[in-house]
Amino acid sequence: MNKVLIIDDVHPLLMEALEAAGFEPLYRPDCSSDEARALAADCMVLVLRSKLYVDDAFLSAAPRLRLIARAGAGTDNINEKDCTHHGVGIVHAGGANSDAVGEQTLGMLLSLLANIAKGDREVRSGIWDREGNRGAELKGKTVGILGFGYTGSAFAGRLYGFGVQVLAYDPYKTIEQVAHVRQTDMDELFREADVLSLHVPLTNETRFMVDADYLRRFRKPLYLLNLSRGPVVRTKHVAEALQSGMLRGFAADVLEKEPPSALAADDKKWFDLLLSMDQVLFTPHVGGWSTESYERISGVLAARIIRWFNRESQMLPTLLEYYKI
């Protein structure tokens, strides 16, 4: 049994590397969730992004599965407890798209501060409003980073040279040897932050962590960036905070439910309100989906699958060295 079922779009490098290691890739990115469940019954490895949720029911119908490999960062659509129960391992491509997310975060922040998206829309509509698009500078501000894993640290790296104070809080990491970053606690972030950027995984602890009570604890109106997971933030409370002036701006690459057409009627009301606000910026979950990361994710994931099975492959040393795994 060497079949690897791939149910989402990936770079051809993944298939090439798996075949070189003796696997048999079955590339079905256009299959439905039901089709994926049927195909997985005969496969040893499942490669996916976010097409379906892997739980006990799925695993019970796929007794030959030994490994779930997620072509992205995080595993919030994989029930780790159920995988452990069924003896199925989990790997993901964490770190492969961190550079893309770091750059996207900086780009969205600069766009908010300088009213770039608003100004572009107005000029295209024949409006030439210089005073109404007067921006703010990043220099001199305090940028708080919540979560200092792959993407949080990548964003911090992009802030070097902007003349900002960078405060990072991560209860599970010790931040060492980053000259322009100082590790802090949430109390200081609540007092000092002009910008808060979220880079946390979606867990029971972080789900809807950013709500009205959380936002009220900040001493200064701030810019909020979410390039982690949509359900970390309550959309309704962000909209209310923008209306009250508690938030100066909001940028998000992720939503509570994606795509927006999946939102319930009450949630869609608040999302539509955000869409009407000039100080809000959205992108369609592409922060980690650059041309470069598209290839890097597949290379990193291939190396981790091959290494998990202890397979011999001429490509593995090259992958490990090139992607610095």
Tell me which residues are annotated as active site.
Answer: 229, 258, 285
Under 8 Å between Cβ of 62 and 41: yes
Nearest to 88 by CA among 65, 56, 58, 61: 65
Task: Round to whole Å and give the CA distance between 143 and 179.
Answer: 15
CA 265 to chain centre: 25
Distance between CA 70 and CA 192 in Å, rounded?
37
Q: How far is CA 219 from CA 147, 188, 194, 206, 246, in A?
A: 20, 10, 9, 21, 9
Q: What is the DSSP string of 192-219?
A: H-SEEEE-----TTTTT-BSHHHHHT-S
CA 41 to centroid of chain Cα atoms: 29
Taking alpha carbons only, the member of 98, 96, 198 closest to residue 157 is 98
* Cβ-based neighbours of 67, under 8 Å, separated by 6 or more: 44, 45, 46, 88, 89, 90, 91, 305, 308, 309
Q: Which two tokens stand for residue 74?
A: 């995080």
Which residues on neighbouring strands pair with residue 223, listed in sequence order? 195, 249
Asked if residues 197 and 145 have their Cβ atoms less than 8 Å apart, the reply is yes
